[in-house]
Amino acid sequence: MKPLKGRVAIVTGASRGIGVPIAMALARRGIRLTLAARSAELLQQTAASIRASTGAHVLAVPTDVTQPEAQDQLIAATLAEFGSIDVLINNAGIVQPAAYEGLALDELEQHLAVNLAAPMALARRVLPHLLAQNRGHIVNIASLGGLLGIAWGESYGATKHGLVGFTRSLRMSCKVSATQVSASVVCPGFIDEVGMYADTALPHGHRAPFVLGTSSPEAVAAAVIRAIERDEPEVIVSSRPVRALLMLGALSPRLLERLCIKLGLHSVFERTARSQGRGR
């Protein structure tokens, strides 16, 4: 899917965090937008800001992505407003660093529902529309945590690994079906200004390890655009060359494990968990 101008995109988690710059970047490409998030007030503020900055046609639909009825209403509202769906950006997600045994079962279920089940369900709902028009792209926002093991982040890591695996399989199904529909996964590392790192880790002085570094929200937005325009299977967003680390892990998982511990890749999650009284 090359040209974006005039297309229609749904962006979940669009009221805050990296959802806002992602939506803004799409609008600047001439895409018409449906923004989805739970907070109606924040969603309307985001929609107004995008309209004022870009002149884009923006629809705000308050949505709890974990609820099947809300998912149906989101799709129906988009089709009623625009007549088609071309792009789905599954961005909504939650994270809670903690000792795994200290997570409540309802927290675990919520992580699975928001981070994995909802993106899979929304993709299932939009696919018939994309396939019927033989055009479209699904972008799932995962994490470096979906490619590496994360100490103190078992439920987050599991859901993001699941999202990476789901995207790879969905993309392969599209390729062997000879359709112009496709899928990509974007895997950011630590992000400046917004999200867990900025909201929870930095205020306590917990900084990303040098080997991972941080990236800007705009870098994630640019990665989403690149994934769609170039039909990239997977885009890692990091200020460091982490692919070499991932390749090493594929060759020697034990060596990667030792390196991750030595380099302190777990430090932000562990210290954040302890700061919140959720350590071990």
Q: Which of 23, 54, 126, 156 is catalytic?
A: 156
Name the residue among 173, 85, 170 with its Cα closest to residue 136.
85
Q: Contact at 8 Å (CB) between 94 and 144?
A: no
Sign of the C-alpha dihedral, residues 108, 113, 115, 120? positive
Q: Contact at 8 Å (CB) between 10 and 78?
A: yes
State residue 185 phi and psi, 5-degree precision: -120, 135
Residue 156 known to be catalytic = yes
DSSP state of 60: E
State residue 63 phi and psi, 5-degree precision: -145, 130
- What is the signed CA dihedral for 146, 270, 105, 118, rounded to 10 degrees? -30
Q: Which residues pair with 183 in a beta bridge?
A: 138
Neighbouring residues of 132: CB distance < 8 A, sequence distance ≥ 6 = none
**Which positions are catalytic?**
156
